[in-house]
Amino acid sequence: MLTLREVTKEFRIGAFGGKSVAAVKGVSFDVVPGEVVSLIGESGSGKSTIGRMILGLNSATSGSITFDGLPVRAGKEYYRHVQGIFQDPFSSFNPVFKADRVFAMIKEAYYPGVPAAEWGERVETSLRDVRLNPGQVLGRYPHQLSGGQLQRLLIARALLLDIKLLVADEITSMLDASTRIDVLNLLAELKTRGLGVLYITHDLSLGTYLAERTVVLRQGRVAEMGPTDDVFGGPLHPYTRELLSAVPRLHEAWDDAVPVETCAYHEGGGTGGLLEVTPGHFVSCAGLASCPGG
């Protein structure tokens, strides 16, 4: 469904755009229907830039991003199937409009011919699908709703469309712990409906909770990716180990990252791109002193 191949993004910066910063470097991965892929990495690793390119808000400098075989084309038809939700739900709402305005806009753009009564029923169904009580959210201004309610409202809005892929960028980082779990469970439910979700987060524990597959991004490149159980159960790249060692675990001593003695990439004969160590589990060079060019 979603395919990224060798995607690179350079931003022009500085006076007159004379310098450039490479935010994303040769990234390739897929998201298929009914799967959650988490995109994990520290701040500045390029996660949001990838999300924005998938949503057509930034263009790739090189490489390709396709959805159902077609290049990303920001516009009404694309957004019928691909939607994004971001960290700060308040920024997605105009504070002077009541929350239900977001539904009215969907109707105007996509379903102008649907009778008002039928539309009202569809809105109510989508709100109940995200476990919101229509009576408690419709007719209210954004400031009268909680962050968790607004995030759900955005998911309900997406459900009114014929959505196939949801790009969820740090959507739970502003929510309290119990609301966060509710929203994560909701995403898990969406995948059972066949939706693909790209779940962008810097929080490993949330990524593992949901995702079938994990892509670990470091300084704009994929360090490691594969089935979540493999990546977290047997991390091959020192960066993944470092990230894992920073996750607090109850009842367990805080351990340091286990040092990597050998580079799984070069040991396995990697020469270009990522090395597939076990089926679907890819790793890049560990960058040890002993690595060629290290």
Ligand X SMILES: Nc1ncnc2c1ncn2[C@@H]1O[C@H](COP(=O)(O)OP(=O)(O)OP(=O)(O)O)[C@@H](O)[C@H]1O
Interface with ligand X by CB under 6 A: which residues?
Answer: 11, 13, 21, 23, 41, 43-49, 202
Spatial distance between the Cα atoms of 60 and 50, rounded to a whole number of angstroms: 9
Q: Which residues sit opposite 227 in a β-bridge? A: 213
Spatial distance between the Cα atoms of 117 and 119, rounded to a whole number of angstroms: 5
Q: What's the Cα-to-Cα distance from 4 to each of 53, 210, 263, rounded to whole Å?
A: 10, 21, 26
Per-residue burial over 58-68, b if 16 or more Cβ lie within 10 Å, else e, is bebbebebebe
Spatial distance between the Cα atoms of 136 and 138, rounded to a whole number of angstroms: 6
Spatial distance between the Cα atoms of 250 and 60, rounded to a whole number of angstroms: 41
* SS3 state of residue 198: strand
- Rg of the chain over Cα atoms, rounded to whole angstroms, equals 21
| Residue 57 backbone zone (phi > 0: left; psi -120 to 50: alpha; other: beta) | alpha
Per-residue burial over 196-211, b if 16 or more Cβ lie within 10 Å, else e, is bbbbbbbbbebbbbbb
CA geometry: angle 26, 28, 31, nearest 5 deg = 155
User: In sequence order, what are the residues at sequence separation of 6 or more whose Cβ sits closer than 8 angstroms to the Cβ of residue 250?
Assistant: none
Tokens of 259: 């040092």
CA geometry: angle 225, 230, 233, nearest 5 deg = 120
Tell me which H or E stretch contains 270.
Answer: none
The letter for the amino acid at 171 is: I
